[in-house]
Each structure stands twice: as structure tokens, then as C-alpha cells.
């Protein structure tokens, strides 16, 4: 289950880490529960519940790392209010005995395991992660000023990825052609594996390093990530016109957090891989192969569309088995030092698997669940379940799940009819449900990139497009009015996707095509609603979310006035973000 992560800096610290982890038992045995936090660690009280500095930081960190949120006074206030709202709904849910629900108890148990494992992790890893230097932060800042338009192809082996690269380099196949045979995700299939615009911190580190080393149009060698092996191409690059030390200063704290967490993940991956090798994890290949065959069809679309570190939590339901297959649940799937898991055990724990493992390598994800279980057992031996911060994490998780159950119960009282879904679509399509744009495209091709760039320069200096078209038409096959082009049905996908990013009547390019290097101009754009029958499931989910938001606001308006709520805004805004803060 080793995950290869590059980094010379990690290697320099690994020897020091092993010196410490070899004596981990002695170190951890001496570490008891932490002290109860003083009053200055409380940001808000909501009746009998509190929100601490540590709880707030745990909620804020993903916003900074994965959603590129700026740490501002407004964003802090908004997040704290969201946490307060959650506590209000949880209090009401507990009054209605939602805390006895099985899903709440399971979530609390999983959170306790994760929190205890986190304490051990801090002893093993966090204390050895170096603080980023100013040069490190500046490099991350500069990279963050660039946005790259990236497409990729994903397969399960390096050999398969190399074969794809040879097809692309030789011109035997294109990204659009290969994507249609590789991806189940409709967006990736129809756009030639287009991942969209990405910047620093959006991707797995290996993928990010690869794309920032590519020139636009260049095809990468095979690159490994948590999701498999990839071939990448940068189609376009946009860099901020100007940035200076003041911009850097404003972003410095967020950058320090991002860089530190990236190094921590890299080092922690290596250390925990070493730890797991010592646990002698052994899968029953026959049982695992059969189980993966059942699970993978449900996960394939999630895997292919989850490379970017964002998005809502995975919603996944474990498969059910008939009476004749019930024996399969009792088969031993994996054995490890001091225990084993059956198929049934894994299915019970599957909702705990982190998204990047659930949608990536199931062997790795299962081994990491076992890792957390073993770490939690060590935590129990050291009575970490009594640690105040562990207890708070468990309560926060229970409150989160109870609030969700309470809102779901409110929504269940509303019967959503097909007529309601259709009315929602009719009201919202102009804002939400556009079909693929149709573009009327004109093109001018040249035999070389330099020749195409000279044509583009002439056009931007005022030369008439029609005149240049007539001149080029004598020597280029792809020149003139290409007609209307639509996503998924266009003969010129590369030109179509370039056209989507440009304004009407503005020449752009050059784009590499079979005819050479091509300049295009979009002369018309038409937008139509996506067919209702094709997207009605999405429309219904959007309607359910809309109704849930209405129900949430109404419930808070009813409950909040009867709860004593106190907020320490001064303390909230004075929080600092050191590199190693949790």
C-alpha cells in the first residue's frame, strides 16, 4: 500500500523520525490526556454547548486547503455562524432523541477512533515537520498566481499510461478519442478528459508538479497519483498580470498553512506506510477480487471526477446481499497483526473511508481504515478516549450528524411531486440548466505554429478576418466557416473548447489540429435549456437542497430566540494560524 511521494526534504527528516518512532511506545505511554481548555479557548456558547478554538480551526482548515477560501474577518464570522446554527439544530435533535439513532452512534465511534489516531499521529509526525521558509512560501505564492487549463487520461498501470502517450505523440489518437473509451463520467468523456482550470493546491502533489513543468500543448510522461496513472496536457496558462510583496503579505498565513499541510501529508504518508508494513496486512485475493467487482461499478464515476480536492462528501450505500449470498459477508477479507476483518466488517466501515481512497485504490483505502483501527487501539490503551479534545471532537461529530438527521426529518414531511420538479426546472433553467452552447466558428489554418501566430498578430492589428481567410484558403484545408458546433457532436472538439473560452468576434489561438495550427473566431453563440428528461434527477436533487435550506432557515428562526447564545468576536478575529496549528 505504499504511496510514492517525491521530496528530498522528507528524506532529510525521515531518519530523525525513525529515531523517535522506534521509541514510540515509551513516548506515548508517558503522554496522558490533555488538560481541560481554559475559558479563553471558547469562541461561542450555545446553551449547554460550546465551540472552541480547536473546533473552529478544524472546520476552517478544509476551507483554506481545499476550497481556496480567504481567511478574512467576514469568512471567520460566517463559518462560526454556520457552526452555531449546527449546534442549535443538534440541541433540538437531541431533545427529540435523535442521539439514540444507530447512525449517530456509529459516527461518534468512528470520530473517536479518528481523534485518538490523530493524537498518536501528532506525536509521530507533526513535531518533525519543518516550518516553511519565506522562500518556500514565495514559491507557492508565485505558483498560485498561475491557472492552468488541464486535461488528462487515467488508467490503472504505468504501462497502460505509456501506451496512451505513444498514441498521442504519434498522432494515432487524440485526447477526445481516447477519453470516450476510458471515462464513464460524462463530462470527462465528452470534453476529452478536461479537468478545467487548476492552480496551486488543487491537485495531488505529483500531478501538480507535472503540470507546472509542462509547456502549453506538451504531453506529460506517465504520472502516478492516488487515483492511478495519468497522461496530462496543459492547454492554456493564465498568469496574474502583476503581483507584488503586498499581495504576498496578505496571503502569507494561508500559504503557510497550505505548504505545511502538504509537507505534513507527504511525511505522514511515508511514516504510516512504514508503520503498516510492520502490521503484515494480507488480503485474501480471491475474496477481495470478488468484493471489488461488486463495489467498483458504484465508485467508478466518483473516482474519475474526484481528482480536484474539493466537492461534497461521497454519498455511498453499501450493497445488499440475498440469503444465498449472506455467507460471503462472513468470509475473511484481510488479516493483520492481532486481528482480521470479514467482508461484512469492511462494508460496515466503508462510509468512514476518506474520499480520495474510496474513489481511488480500495486496497489502500481498506489498509488505511485498518491503520486507523490499530492506532485507535493504542489510543485506548493510553486512555486517549478521556482526552478532552477527543471528547469534543466526538460531540462535534454527533452534533453534525444529528443536525443533518433533523433537517432530513423536516424535509421528509414535504412530498415532492413530479409537477413540483418540473416547475422548479421551468423557473430555474435560465440560471442553472443550460445545455451545451452551440458555437458558429470560423477558422484559419497554417502549416506551422509560427505562421499561425503571424496570422493572429495581423488580425489583432486590424486585418479583416475574411481577407486573411481568403488568402489562407488556397493552402489550408481547415479554413472558412465551420458552421454550428455543439459539445459531444462537433467534428472539431479542440476548436470548440477553445471557442467556449473566448468572446464573440475575437480571434484566438493557435490551436493544434489535424490540419496544422488553427486560428478561430466565434461569430455566434446560442444557448438552450438542457432537456428536462435528461437532467430531471439533478433537478430533483437541487429542489430537495432548496427545500432543505428553507426548512433550515425556518427552524433556526423558531429555535434560536429561545437559546442563550454568546459569541466572542474579538477572540475569533485575533486567532493566528501557525504552520503546525490543528
Dihedral sign computed on CA atoms, order 336, 340, 342, 348:
negative
pLDDT bracket for residue 24 (50, 70, 90)? very low
CB-CB contact of 357 with 368 (8 Å): yes
397 Cβ neighbours under 8 A, 6+ residues apart? 107, 108, 110, 111
Point out the least confidently predicted range of 275-284, 357-366, 547-556: 357-366
- Residue 256 domain-assigned (yes or no): no
Name the burial class of residue 363, with classes exposed (0-12), middle (13-18) and buried (19+) by CB atoms within 10 angstroms of its CB.
Answer: middle
Q: Which helix (H) or strand (E) holds 44?
A: strand 42-46
Gap between the Cα atoms of 456 and 507, Å rounded: 7
Which percentage of the chain shows pLDDT scores above 90?
22
Looking at the predicted structure, is the pLDDT value of residue 349 above 50? yes
Q: Which helix (H) or strand (E) holds 524?
A: strand 516-526
Q: What's the 3-state SS for 528-563?
A: CECCHHHHHHHHHHHHHHHHHHHHHHHHHHHHHHHC
In this predicted model, which residue has the larger pLDDT, 521 or 338?
521
- The pLDDT assigned to 23 comes to 31
Residues 544 and 576 in one domain: no
Residues 306 and 214 in one domain: no
Residue from 391, 400, 240 nearest 313 by CA: 400
Q: Which CATH number goes with the domain that contains 451?
A: 3.10.50.40
CB-CB contact of 235 with 171 (8 Å): no
- Residue 258 domain-assigned (yes or no): no
- Residue 485 domain-assigned (yes or no): yes
- Residue 80 domain-assigned (yes or no): yes
Point out the least confidently predicted range of 14-28, 224-238, 283-297: 14-28
Gap between the Cα atoms of 146 and 94, Å rounded: 48
Gap between the Cα atoms of 281 and 273, Å rounded: 11
- The pLDDT assigned to 9 comes to 34
- Dig out the grid coordinates for 173 from the structure: 489518437
Q: What's the 3-state SS for 136-170?
A: HHHHHHHHHCEEEEEEEEEECCHHHHHHHHHHHHH
Residues 322 and 420 in one domain: no
Please report where in the chains the cell 490503472 appears, as a residue: 156
- Tens of pLDDT, residue by residue over 169-187, are 888 888 888 988 888 777 7
C-alpha distances in Å from residue 119, one per residue of 57, 379, 561? 16, 8, 38
Describe the crossing of helices 53-66 and 73-95 by its angle, rounded to 10 degrees: 120
Length of the chain: 582
- The pLDDT assigned to 36 comes to 45
pLDDT bracket for residue 43 (50, 70, 90)? very high
- The pLDDT assigned to 126 comes to 65
**Chain mean position to CA 200:** 13
Residues 501 and 542 in one domain: no
- The pLDDT assigned to 29 comes to 33
The rounded radius of gyration (Å) of the Cα atoms in the chain is 27
- The pLDDT assigned to 262 comes to 77
pLDDT bracket for residue 148 (50, 70, 90)? confident
In this predicted model, which residue has the larger pLDDT, 223 or 371?
223
Residues 450 and 543 in one domain: no
CB-CB contact of 195 with 152 (8 Å): yes
Residues 201 and 338 in one domain: no
Looking at the predicted structure, is the pLDDT value of residue 272 above 60? yes
In this predicted model, which residue has the larger pLDDT, 166 or 241?
166
What mean pLDDT do residues 272-297 have? 81
- The pLDDT assigned to 93 comes to 96
Task: Examine residue 61 and say whether the peptide bond preceding it is cis (omega within 30 degrees of 0).
Answer: no
What mean pLDDT do residues 223-227 have? 80
C-alpha distances in Å from residue 25, one per residue of 22, 29, 31, 151? 8, 6, 10, 47
Point out the least confidently predicted range of 237-251, 343-357, 465-479: 465-479
- The pLDDT assigned to 130 comes to 72
CB 178: neighbour CB atoms within 10 A? 19
- Residue 501 domain-assigned (yes or no): yes
131 Cβ neighbours under 8 A, 6+ residues apart? 256, 260, 579, 580
C-alpha distances in Å from residue 544, one per residue of 410, 414, 548, 551? 11, 10, 6, 10
- The pLDDT assigned to 535 comes to 86
- Going along 199-331, which residue ranges are E strands? 223-225, 228-239, 282-283
Which percentage of the chain shows pLDDT scores above 70?
81
Half-sphere exposure of 382 (CA within 13 A, CB side): 24
Q: Which domain holds residue 179?
A: 146-239
- Strand partners of residue 230: 154, 223
Residues 420 and 560 in one domain: yes
Looking at the predicted structure, is the pLDDT value of residue 460 above 50? yes
Looking at the predicted structure, is the pLDDT value of residue 37 above 70? no
- The pLDDT assigned to 85 comes to 96
- The pLDDT assigned to 2 comes to 32
- Residue 248 domain-assigned (yes or no): no
Looking at the predicted structure, is the pLDDT value of residue 76 above 60? yes
* Residue 111: strand, helix, or coil: helix
- The pLDDT assigned to 30 comes to 33
- The pLDDT assigned to 414 comes to 78
Residues 33 and 69 in one domain: yes
- Residue 139 domain-assigned (yes or no): no
Looking at the predicted structure, is the pLDDT value of residue 434 above 70? yes
- The pLDDT assigned to 108 comes to 93
- Residue 319 domain-assigned (yes or no): yes
Highest mean predicted confidence (pLDDT) among 15-29, 72-86, 125-139, 478-492: 72-86
Q: With a threshold of 0.95, does the pTM exceed it?
A: no
CB-CB contact of 307 with 227 (8 Å): yes
Looking at the predicted structure, is the pLDDT value of residue 27 above 80? no
In this predicted model, which residue has the larger pLDDT, 398 or 478?
398
- The pLDDT assigned to 578 comes to 54
- The pLDDT assigned to 309 comes to 35
Name the burial class of residue 48, with classes exposed (0-12), middle (13-18) and buried (19+) by CB atoms within 10 angstroms of its CB.
Answer: exposed
What mean pLDDT do residues 465-490 have? 75
Residues 274 and 347 in one domain: yes
Residues 574 and 547 in one domain: no
What mean pLDDT do residues 318-323 have? 56
What mean pLDDT do residues 124-133 have? 72
- Tens of pLDDT, residue by residue over 480-534, are 888 898 876 788 888 888 888 888 998 888 888 777 788 899 999 988 888 888 8
> Per the structure, how many domains does the chain have?
4
Residues 457 and 424 in one domain: no
* Residue 475: strand, helix, or coil: coil
Residues 14 and 74 in one domain: yes
Strand 49-52 to 223-225 pairing: unpaired
DSSP code for 216 = T
Amino acid at each position: 500500500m505504499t504511496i510514492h511521494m517525491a521530496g528530498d526534504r522528507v528524506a532529510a527528516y525521515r531518519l530523525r523520525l525513525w529515531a523517535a518512532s522506534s521509541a514510540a511506545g515509551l513516548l506515548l505511554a508517558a503522554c496522558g490526556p490533555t488538560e481541560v481548555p481554559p475559558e479563553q479557548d471558547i469562541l461561542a456558547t450555545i446553551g449547554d454547548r460550546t465551540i472552541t478554538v480547536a473546533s473552529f480551526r478544524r472546520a476552517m482548515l478544509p476551507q483554506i486547503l481545499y476550497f481556496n477560501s480567504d481567511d478574512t474577518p467576514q469568512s471567520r464570522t460566517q463559518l462560526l455562524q454556520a457552526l452555531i446554527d449546527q449546534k442549535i439544530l443538534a440541541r433540538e435533535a437531541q431533545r427529540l432523541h435523535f442521539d439514540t439513532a444507530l447512525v449517530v452512534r456509529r459516527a461518534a465511534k468512528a470520530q473517536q477512533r479518528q481523534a485518538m489516531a490523530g493524537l498518536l499521529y501528532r506525536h509521530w509526525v507533526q513535531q518533525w515537520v519543518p516550518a516553511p521558509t519565506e522562500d518556500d512560501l514565495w514559491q507557492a505564492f508565485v505558483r498560485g498566481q498561475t491557472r492552468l487549463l488541464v486535461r488528462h487520461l487515467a488508467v490503472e498501470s504505468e504501462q497502460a499510461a505509456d501506451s496512451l502517450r505513444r498514441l498521442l505523440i504519434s498522432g494515432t489518437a487524440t485526447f477526445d478519442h481516447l477519453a470516450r473509451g476510458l471515462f464513464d463520467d460524462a463530462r470527462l468523456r465528452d470534453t476529452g478528459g478536461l479537468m478545467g482550470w487548476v492552480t496551486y493546491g488543487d491537485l495531488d502533489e505529483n500531478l501538480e508538479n507535472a503540470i507546472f513543468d509542462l509547456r502549453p500543448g506538451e504531453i506529460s510522461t506517465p504520472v502516478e497519483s492516488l487515483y492511478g496513472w495519468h497522461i496530462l496536457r496543459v492547454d492554456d496558462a493564465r498568469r496574474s498580470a502583476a503581483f507584488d510583496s503586498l499581495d504576498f503579505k496578505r496571503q502569507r498565513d494561508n500559504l503557510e498553512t497550505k505548504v505545511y499541510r502538504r509537507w505534513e501529508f507527504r511525511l505522514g504518508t511515508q511514516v504510516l506506510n512504514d508503520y503498516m508494513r510492520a502490521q503484515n496486512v494480507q488480503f485474501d485475493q480471491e475474496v477481495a477480487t470478488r468484493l471489488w467487482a461488486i463495489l467498483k461499478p458504484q465508485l467508478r464515476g466518483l473516482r474519475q471526477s474526484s481528482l480536484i480536492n474539493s466537492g461534497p462528501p461521497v454519498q455511498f450505500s453499501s450493497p445488499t446481499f440475498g440469503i444465498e449470498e449472506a455467507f460471503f459477508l462472513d468470509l475473511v477479507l484481510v488479516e493483520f497483526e492481532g486481528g482480521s476483518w470479514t467482508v461484512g466488517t469492511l462494508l460496515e466501515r466503508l462510509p468512514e473511508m476518506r474520499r480520495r481512497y474510496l474513489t481511488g485504490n480500495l486496497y489502500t483505502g481498506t489498509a488505511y481504515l485498518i491503520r486507523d483501527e490499530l492506532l485507535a487501539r493504542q489510543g485506548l490503551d493510553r486512555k486517549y478516549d478521556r482526552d478532552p479534545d477527543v471528547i469534543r471532537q466526538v460531540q462535534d461529530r454527533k452534533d453534525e450528524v444529528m443536525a443533518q438527521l433533523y433537517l432530513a426529518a423536516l424535509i421528509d414531511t414535504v412530498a415532492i411531486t413530479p409537477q413540483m420538479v418540473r416547475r422548479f426546472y421551468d423557473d430555474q433553467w435560465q440560471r442553472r440548466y443550460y445545455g451545451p452552447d452551440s458555437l458558429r466558428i470560423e477558422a484559419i489554418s497554417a502549416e506551422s505554429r509560427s505562421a499561425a501566430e503571424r496570422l493572429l498578430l495581423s488580425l489583432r492589428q486590424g486585418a479583416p478576418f475574411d481577407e486573411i481567410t481568403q488568402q489562407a484558403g488556397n493552402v489550408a484545408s481547415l479554413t472558412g466557416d465551420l458552421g454550428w458546433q455543439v459539445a459531444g457532436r462537433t467534428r472539431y472538439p479542440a476548436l470548440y473548447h477553445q471557442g467556449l473560452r473566448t468572446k464573440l468576434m475575437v480571434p484566438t489561438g493557435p490551436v493544434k489540429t489535424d490540419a496544422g495550427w488553427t486560428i478561430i473566431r466565434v461569430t455566434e453563440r446560442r444557448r438552450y435549456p438542457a432537456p428536462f428528461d435528461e437532467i430531471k434527477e439533478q433537478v430533483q436533487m437541487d429542489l430537495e437542497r432548496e427545500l432543505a435550506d428553507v426548512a433550515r432557515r425556518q427552524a433556526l428562526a423558531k429555535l434560536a430566540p429561545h437559546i442563550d447564545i454568546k459569541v466572542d468576536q474579538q477572540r475569533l478575529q485575533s486567532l493566528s494560524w501557525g504552520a503546525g496549528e490543528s
